[in-house]
Amino acid sequence: MKTQLLLVDDEQHLQALMAEFFSSNRYEVQCATEAEEAIAMIRHHHFDLVISDLELNSVEGLNGFSVLKALRQFAPNAKIIVYSGHTDAQVMEAALRHGGNKFLAKPLALTELLANAEELCPPS
């Protein structure tokens, strides 16, 4: 059975690359480009894993932390990897404190991302 994956990033070019990569590695991929879209998806679909940028443009002030919070509220068993260009200790600690399973620093290496994903959701 394929792992159900939600990719959340407002950089659509990067997201498309990630989607293609994970799709070719036994993942069933869906994408969201805004925090609001991601949260609505989490409320109405099942995901085993979410990979989200922490920085998402939103006039409503929602970001990757909002996605984290929603996932913990509505899908507490799902895993989440978050990443950010801000790698100071405070951001990392906050991400893990809010329920993130993994924190990665940008720029991302797809192979590293896959290794982390498979560690959280081992291939069946």
Counting contacts by CB under 8 A, is residue 62 touching another protein?
Answer: yes
Among 1, 60, 77, 90, binds another protein (CB under 8 A): 60
Among 57, 93, 110, 112, binds another protein (CB under 8 A): 57
Stretch that binds another protein, among 16-24, 39-47, 87-95, 110-118 (CB under 8 A): 39-47
d(CA 80, CA 68): 7
Counting contacts by CB under 8 A, is residue 12 touching another protein?
Answer: yes
Q: At what angle do helices 89-97 and 64-74 cross, to 10 degrees?
A: 20
Nearest C-alpha neighbor of 86 from the set 50, 55, 57 = 55
* Chain residues that interact with another protein, rule: CB under 8 A: 10, 12, 30, 32-37, 39-41, 43-45, 57, 60, 62
